[in-house]
């Protein structure tokens, strides 16, 4: 188990205190998935949600190697004590030598149902070799499952490729990875949005898969037009105070290592032209964005963002905080100064925040717990 740690900034020097948690206000860390343990040589691609009952569900790809297409299974661990302890690995879907990837989950407010969406590639094929169309051995497929008991049991996988993928030109598709959202404001309240990017390789575009019937059926919205160098790739969504939706995407290519942002004012149907956010620097990597509740007062909701806060490598995991719906990000703090890659944020029942993160060169996927006061330097 990864030891708890407390981080303090003193005179610009970062001090890590290992062992028993030395200060209650500092983030607490615990390993969830560790390479070489519980049947899998490697784990990657974290996704994390909190159910309506307060259970944490941590998803990942259980891989035969660290390669992206390594006979991946979709696996899960559960925590019923806010991340202090975790269950054994549970296999949600295993498909022989084929590859399952990009777990992306969302929890429905009205009934607590957890929806899990991901992709399937046949053995020997990946996004470089994927072909357009909705059927055939080289087609990238999208599957969905659900759980009505906080992740203890899962429905059988259902293929929804034709509902979320354009039938021509598009080769690969990828959910998230991370989380989807369910809108809470405006005329589209209740709508579910799952973030997607589509190929061909090197010419990615991002869009929303939309459901207005609780995840029973899906359709795809328009892709976001590119207004700046590079292509928007792995993407996440956050609802804003006025009911509009912000997308926040990895910028692939173009030489400018800054996150791409666009806004939808029609519930994910269409998007503004993408723009770079100069504050949200990146080394080209997935990131997480989350609307975190303000203690029962929607006017006090904030946006949180996590990613490697550098343009030189997947390290220096940073948490950023915005109180103006992402217009500015004036507050940030280093969560994990070492190797830090993909991450996923969630709001915990007691008002704290959880982050599931890949650490130290993908050696493990760890869970961190912290507060907004810690991010703002008040603890």
Please give the average per-residue pLDDT across 102-128, as a whole number: 97
Give the separation between CA 168 and CA 375, rounded to whole angstroms. 45
Catalytic residue from among 31, 68, 148, 222: 68
Number of residues that this document lists for the chain: 379
Domain spanning 35-179 has what CATH number?
A: 2.120.10.10
Per residue in 162-186, pLDDT (tens digit) is 999 999 999 999 999 999 999 999 9
Per residue in 310-320, pLDDT (tens digit) is 999 999 999 99
Per-residue model confidence (pLDDT) at position 254: 86
Catalytic residue from among 40, 121, 207, 342: 342
234 part of the active site: yes
Give the separation between CA 33 and CA 367, rounded to whole angstroms. 9
Global pTM value? 0.93
Pairwise pLDDT comparison (116 vs 294), residue with the higher score: 116
Q: What would the two tokens of residue 179 be?
A: 């989380």
Spatial contact of 176 and 164, defined as CB atoms under 8 Å apart: no
Q: What is the chain's percent helix, strand, coil content, to nearest 5?
A: 5, 45, 50
Catalytic residue from among 61, 127, 234, 282: 234
Per residue in 264-307, pLDDT (tens digit) is 999 999 999 999 999 999 999 999 999 999 877 778 899 999 99
Buried b (16+ CB within 10 A) or exposed e, 45-77: bbbbbbbeeebbbbbbbbbeeeebbbbbbbbbb
CB atoms within 10 A of CB 273: 11
Per residue in 43-86, pLDDT (tens digit) is 999 999 999 999 999 999 999 999 999 999 999 999 999 999 99
Strands 90-93, 73-79: pairing is antiparallel
Please give the average per-residue pLDDT across 360-369, as a whole number: 98
Q: Measured between alpha carbons, how far is residue 241 from residues 183, 219, 304, 363 in Å?
A: 11, 25, 14, 38
324 part of the active site: no
Per-residue model confidence (pLDDT) at position 51: 98
Per-residue model confidence (pLDDT) at position 305: 98
Give the separation between CA 19 and CA 32, rounded to whole angstroms. 17
Q: What would the two tokens of residue 52 be?
A: 């309506």
Per-residue model confidence (pLDDT) at position 1: 44
Q: Measured between alpha carbons, how far is residue 321 from residues 50, 97, 206, 230, 353 in Å?
A: 20, 41, 24, 25, 12
- Mean per-residue pLDDT over the chain, rounded: 93
118 part of the active site: no
Q: Measured between alpha carbons, how far is residue 50 from residues 47, 74, 370 in Å?
A: 11, 18, 15
Give me Rg for the CA atoms of the chain.
19
């Amino acid at each position: 188990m990864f030891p708890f740690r407390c981080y303090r900034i003193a005179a610009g020097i970062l001090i890590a205190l290992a062992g028993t948690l030395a200060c209650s206000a500092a983030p607490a860390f615990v390993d969830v998935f560790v390479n070489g343990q519980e049947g899998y040589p490697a784990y990657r691609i974290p996704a994390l949600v909190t159910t309506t009952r307060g259970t944490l569900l941590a998803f990942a790809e259980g891989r035969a190697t660290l390669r992206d297409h390594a006979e991946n299974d979709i696996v899960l661990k559960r925590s019923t004590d806010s991340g202090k302890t975790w269950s054994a690995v549970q296999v949600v879907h295993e498909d022989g030598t084929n590859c399952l990837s990009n777990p992306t989950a969302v929890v429905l407010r009205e009934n607590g149902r957890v929806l899990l969406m991901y992709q399937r590639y046949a053995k020997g094929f990946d996004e470089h070799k994927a072909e357009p169309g909705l059927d055939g051995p080289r087609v990238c497929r999208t599957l969905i499952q659900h759980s009505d008991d906080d992740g203890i049991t899962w429905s059988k996988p259902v293929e929804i490729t034709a509902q979320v993928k354009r039938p021509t030109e598009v080769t690969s598709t990828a959910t998230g990875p991370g989380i989807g959202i369910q809108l809470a404001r405006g005329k589209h309240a209740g709508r579910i949005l799952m973030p997607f990017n589509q190929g061909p390789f090197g010419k990615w575009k991002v869009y929303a898969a939309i459901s207005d019937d609780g995840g029973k059926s899906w359709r795809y919205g328009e892709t976001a037009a590119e207004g700046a160098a590079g292509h928007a790739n792995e993407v996440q969504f956050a609802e804003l105070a006025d009911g509009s939706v912000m997308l926040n995407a990895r910028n692939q290519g173009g030489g400018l290592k800054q996150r791409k942002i666009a806004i939808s004012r029609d519930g994910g149907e269409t998007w503004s032209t993408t723009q770079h956010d100069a504050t949200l620097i990146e080394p080209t990597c997935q990131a997480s964005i989350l609307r975190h509740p303000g203690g029962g007062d929607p006017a006090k909701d904030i946006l949180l963002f996590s990613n490697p806060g550098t343009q030189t490598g997947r390290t220096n995991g940073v948490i950023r905080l915005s109180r103006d719906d992402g217009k500015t990000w004036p507050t940030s703090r280093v969560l994990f100064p070492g190797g830090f890659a993909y991450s996923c944020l969630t709001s915990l029942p007691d008002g704290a925040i959880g982050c599931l993160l890949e650490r130290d060169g993908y050696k493990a996927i760890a869970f961190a717990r912290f507060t907004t006061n810690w991010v703002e330097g008040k603890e």
